[in-house]
Amino acid sequence: MIKKIGVVGCGQMGSGIIQVAAGAGYQVLANEASEVFLDKGLAGIAKRLDKAIEKGKATAEEKAKIMGNIVRTNELEELADCDLVIEAIVEDINAKKEIFQALDKVCKAETILASNTSSIPIGDLGSVTKRRDRFVGLHFFNPVPVMKLVEVVRALDTSENTIQSVKQFAESLGKTTVAAKDTPGFIVNVLLIPYLLDAIRQYERGLASALDIDNAMKLGCGHPMGPLTLTDFIGLDTTLFIADIFFNEFKDDHYAAPPLLRRMVAAGYMGMKSGRGFFDYSKK
Residue 75 vs 147, nearer CB to ligand 3HC:
147
Q: What is the Cα–Cα distance from 150 to 24, expressed in whole angstroms? A: 15
Q: What is the Cα–Cα distance from 14 to 37, expressed in whole angstroms? A: 11
Choosing from 68, 143, 259, 268, the residue that interacts with ligand 3HC (CB under 6 A) is: 143
- Asked if 118 is part of the footprint of ligand 3HC (rule: CB under 6 A), the reply reads yes
Give, as ranges, the residues between 185 and 214 that touch ligand 3HC (CB under 6 A): 189
* Residues listed for the chain: 284
- Asked if 147 is part of the footprint of ligand 3HC (rule: CB under 6 A), the reply reads yes
- Asked if 129 is part of the footprint of ligand 3HC (rule: CB under 6 A), the reply reads no
86 phi and psi, to 5 degrees? -110, 125
Q: What is the Cα–Cα distance from 129 to 155, expressed in whole angstroms? A: 13
189 is catalytic: yes
CB of 106 to ligand 3HC, least distance (A): 27
Q: Which stretch binds ligand 3HC (CB under 6 A): 66-74, 142-150, 152-160, 172-180?
A: 142-150
Alpha-carbon distance values, 273 to 113, 158, 235 (Å): 29, 35, 7
For residue 211, how far is the Cα from the chain centroid?
27
Give, as ranges, the residues between 11 and 40 that touch ligand 3HC (CB under 6 A): none
Contact of 149 with 175, CB cutoff 8 Å: yes
Contact of 218 with 226, CB cutoff 8 Å: yes
> By rule CB under 6 A, what string of x and - marks binding of each residue 47-66 to ligand 3HC?
-x--x---x-x---------
- Asked if 90 is part of the footprint of ligand 3HC (rule: CB under 6 A), the reply reads no
Contact of 277 with 269, CB cutoff 8 Å: yes
223 is catalytic: no
Give, as ranges, the residues between 228 and 267 that touch ligand 3HC (CB under 6 A): 230, 234, 238
118 is catalytic: yes
Q: At 218, which helix (H) or strand (E)?
A: helix 210-221
209 is catalytic: no
Q: What is the Cα–Cα distance from 113 to 97, expressed in whole angstroms? A: 12
Question: Which residues are the active-site residues?
Answer: 118, 139, 151, 189
Q: Which residues bind ligand 3HC (CB under 6 A)?
A: 48, 51, 55, 57, 118, 141-143, 145-147, 189, 224-225, 230, 234, 238
